[in-house]
A and B are shown apart, each in its own frame.
Chain A
Amino acid sequence: MDSPNKMTRRNHLSRHVSLAVLWVSIVTCGELRPPRLLQAQAEQPGKPESPDSAMVETGSKLFGGSCSVCHGIDGKGSARGPDLTRGQVVTRGKDDELSQLIRKGVPGSSMGAFDMPDLQIRQLVAFIRSLSTPAAHVAVPGNQNSGQQIFFGKGHCSECHMIRGQGGSLGPDLSNIGGERTLAEIRESILKPGSSSPNKYRGVYVVTESGERIEGTLRNRDNFSLQIMDRTGKFRFFLISELREVVLQEKSMMPNDIGSLLNSEEVQNLLAFLSRQAVVGGNQIENHRRRPR
């Protein structure tokens, strides 16, 4: 599908993008004041019961039999049922609420009642919980202070990511990352960043009718419009019809060489720091992508 011409453009783009990141870091470093009280902000929210590993394992088998047809083997959903690693009841509700939901079903949805023995329901709940237990609720070894230094320094994370108003805005805000992602998800997104949503955080450049060239990251798009944050951090919204050219990078702008930039101890410290970033109370806005069903 891609013309060779376009591929060249894409390579050009990645070069520009890395320059862009550097450039942003220069501009914003004056504002980089590593915040002091971050750990204190990350006290443990109302903690769900920690899942017992034998319960989780049996629950996983039950899940494979009854639930996976709609919710996927990994619980991440399918065309028939929602992602169970997300959502209010699954991630924040009490175990009892989740049990009732399984036992009675969800009115007005395809989720019917599963009348199973109590023990099996508890095992299922334990497994479902384990899919989504946020990093903030599990013990994470490592030095949070060092992790914070890495986030705002050597790791260059804050050039694109913000925590509580500090840092850049080209990438997703991480103020609640420990509250909404599992430890495994955070680790994977640092070490093996994949393509995220096809419509978000990909590198992009456009050329306007007047010949102006604008680079940045994608915030949303459809067949007729494009929403970009340019490399100066400004929102730039376009109609496709106003543009001469639109070129998208294949992947998100998240660099894929962090594993070589940081040693394993530094990665662990960074994880320890990020896992404690959880917004407690107040407006917990689900800023992850939820597929409505």
Chain B
Amino acid sequence: MKRGSLVHHSFLLSLFVILLLLSAGIAPAQISYQDLVHPDPKDWLTYSGDYSGRRYSSLSQIHTKNVASLAAEWIYPVPGANRLLVTPLVVNGLMYVTGHNSIFALDARTGREIWRYSRPLRADMVSGDARPGINRGVAVLGEKVFFETQDAHMLALHAKNGSLIWETEIADYRDGYGGTMAPLVVKDKVIIGTSGGDEGIRGLLDAYDAETGKRQWRFWTIPNSGEPGSETWKGTAIEHGCGATWLTGTFDPELNLLYWTTGNPCPDFYGEDRLGDNLYTDCVLALDVDSGKLKWHYQFTPHDTHDWDATQIPMLIDWDFQGRPRKLLAQANRNGFFYVLDRTNGKLLRAKPFVKSLNWAKGIGPDGRPEVLPDTDPTPQGKKTCPAVVGATNWYSPSYNPQTGLFYVIAMEQCNDYVSSARGYERGKGFEGTGAQRIANEPGQKFLRAIDIRTGNLRWEYPMVGEADSWAGTLSTAGGLVFFGDDSGYLVAVEAETGKALWHFNTGAIRLSASPMTFAINGQQFITLAAGTNVVTFRLMH
């Protein structure tokens, strides 16, 4: 009896201590705007890791000398998922993963589930990338978690249990709007765009009050007739011009500017009903984050007829350019060029191809416009043009390492036959004007490429074996490593300086479609990749 009660007491005591520790350890930390500006490297607080979009971590416990002993620590099969695109966030040991219109909060060290929130998929969503419910992740501020639903609603959930705090409809899904992206929190605002860029939507970017869900501003990416920019649309297509804002942007706190990219014009492949440049499609927009007013824009592909959305990460890099320190914006664009802009004013500093399969333009002129080659528009019979419709790269993340000055991007060498036909708008349906298809016996190939920010030239490349059909991105770390998903389902670590493969793991995923991230708990560094339908997390095994 006595012994029993002693045990009982010490059990209660330790339970108390454990609860105390747990409440200190797992309770979601209050994330402030200052935390987002200066993130603790143990956390991963925004889609790209920080506002710059560099997807670079200063964690260096895992490095070139010990990465060979990296091993899987846990696997979380995401319920209901058939293809994960998410970059998980980690806030003080709690990981947020999004699956198909659902969110899962996990113990980041073990993969054990803490809570989940899920919404039924709208089956009457007619078409579009959002229809299957794919999602790229959440954003956090205070004790709230922000999530965009399949049907373009903005939700705020409580970080402790997934309780719905507020919900706002961004736009009507029946008009083709949908949600696939991770929001970005800046100051007291949740910045969010939508998908629907092949469904004839009018593109928009919104800012919502994080506390109440009330809209603070909206920027339309397609002007109303009579507004500036509308002169770049001749024909009827401006009514349903697309320019979707479907990938998370970046932010410069010093300039107070938000950088957001826009997608293709509609109909994607048929340009006769929209002669002109079609602003603000295929652009990077620099917006004042407080007012949503446009400060400047740069258009990568004026009058695009190849579905080359500019929705790749607009990365913010501070580096000397031609002898003086500059605030740069770098982007490897789906159209095959690697661009460097001055992000204070949007002036083009340099543009060079980063793929060989590029036959639509001779180059980018000093005025910033592409020198388009004749006979590269889609035709009813089909016109072979490069890059392919999936792009020289796409939304999956590039990364940058300030120690090497190298920009790491997954590139695709591929061409397509592009076919066009006139197409009238029908509400909520695809508004493509036909499409592109693979060319027989030209499967294409994927590469990891390292571009020197100083010159825009290729430093090294890592050719991948596979079906040229994967969508995985990259992560760079202060351990001198680049992690990326390859074209055969492997997570691979290469040396950042040389591209030499140092470690690999076969995730079993047939088509990787997400970018890796890293975090630390109690001084231990982890690497995570959403691979196929599983979240897989790795650490060093000594």
Contact = CB atoms under 8 A, between A and B. Distances in A.
Nearest to A290: B510
A50 to B, nearest CB: 27
Contact of A194 (B131, B132, B440, B501): B440
B466 A222 contact: yes
Nearest to A79: B390
Given A68-B434, A69-B430, A221-B465, A107 B441 contact: no
Give 10 closest A-B pairs by Cβ, nearest first. Answer: A222-B488, A112-B126, A112-B127, A69-B435, A72-B437, A69-B432, A79-B390, A194-B441, A223-B465, A78-B437
Given A64-B434, A72-B438, A78-B435, A110 B492 contact: no
B443 interface: yes
B100 interface: yes
B326 interface: no
B123 A105 contact: yes
A110 B132 CA distance: 6
Given A108-B100, A194-B440, A291-B467, A223 B121 contact: no
A112 B132 contact: no
A222 B123 contact: no
A107 B488 contact: no
Which of B382, B435, B486 counts the most A-chain CB atoms under 10 A from its CB?
Answer: B435
B434 A108 contact: no
A222 B487 CA distance: 8
Grouping DSSP codes into helix (H, G, I), strand (E, B) and loop, the A interface class, with mixed when no group exceeds half, is loop
B168 interface: no
Interface in A134-148: none
Contacts of B100: 108
A68 B435 contact: yes
A222 B490 contact: yes
A76 B416 CA distance: 13
Grouping DSSP codes into helix (H, G, I), strand (E, B) and loop, the B interface class, with mixed when no group exceeds half, is loop
Contact of B421 (A64, A107, A223): A64
A68 B127 CA distance: 14
B126 A113 contact: yes
Contacts of A112: 125-128, 131, 429-430
A198 B488 CA distance: 12
21 contacts: A64-B434, A73-B437, A78-B435, A107-B121, A108-B82, A109-B131, A111-B131, A112-B131, A112-B430, A113-B126, A195-B441, A199-B466, A199-B467, A222-B465, A222-B488, A223-B464, A223-B492, A223-B501, A223-B504, A224-B501, A292-B511
B529 to A, nearest CB: 16
Contact of A74 (B121, B127, B437, B469): B437
B304 to A, nearest CB: 16
Contacts of B478: none
A76 B437 contact: yes
Given A110-B131, A112-B127, A69 B434 contact: yes
Contacts of A199: 465-467
Interface residues of B, number: 46
A145 to B, nearest CB: 34
Given A112-B127, A222-B488, A198 B443 contact: yes
A107 B131 CA distance: 8
Interface in B404-457: 417, 419, 421, 429-430, 432, 434-438, 440-441, 443
B336 interface: no
Contacts of B123: 105, 107
Contact of A224 (B440, B469, B490): B490
B488 A65 contact: no
Interface string A270-293: 000000000000000000000110
B133 interface: yes
Interface of B: 82, 100, 121, 123-129, 131-133, 382, 388-390, 417, 419, 421, 429-430, 432, 434-438, 440-441, 443, 464-467, 469, 486, 488-490, 492, 501, 504, 506, 510-511
A24 interface: no
Given A64-B421, A108-B100, A223-B465, A73 B440 contact: no
Contacts of B129: 110
Nearest to B428: A112
Contacts of A69: 430, 432, 434-435
Nearest to B121: A108
Contacts of A80: 435
Given A198-B467, A223-B464, A108 B132 contact: yes
A70 interface: yes
Interface in A93-117: 105, 107-113
A78 B444 CA distance: 13
Given A65-B421, A108-B133, A222-B486, A70 B435 contact: yes
A108 B490 CA distance: 26
Contacts of B390: 79
Nearest to B391: A79
Contacts of A108: 82, 100, 121, 132-133
Contacts of B133: 108
Interface string A192-225: 0011011100000000000000000000011110
Given A73-B419, A111-B127, 8 more contacts: A79-B389, A112-B131, A195-B441, A198-B443, A199-B465, A223-B486, A223-B492, A224-B501
A113 B432 CA distance: 16
Nearest to B100: A108
A271 B129 CA distance: 42
A195 B445 CA distance: 15
A15 to B, nearest CB: 23
Contacts of A74: 437
A68 B511 CA distance: 23
A129 B353 CA distance: 42
Contacts of A76: 437-438
Contacts of A105: 123, 126
B213 to A, nearest CB: 28
Nearest to A197: B467
Given A65-B421, A68-B435, A223-B492, A110 B127 contact: yes
Nearest to B505: A224
Nearest to A81: B435
Contact of B389 (A78, A194, A224): A78
Contact of A110 (B128, B436, B443, B506): B128
A111 B417 CA distance: 22
Contacts of B506: 222
B174 to A, nearest CB: 12
Contacts of A110: 127-129, 131-132
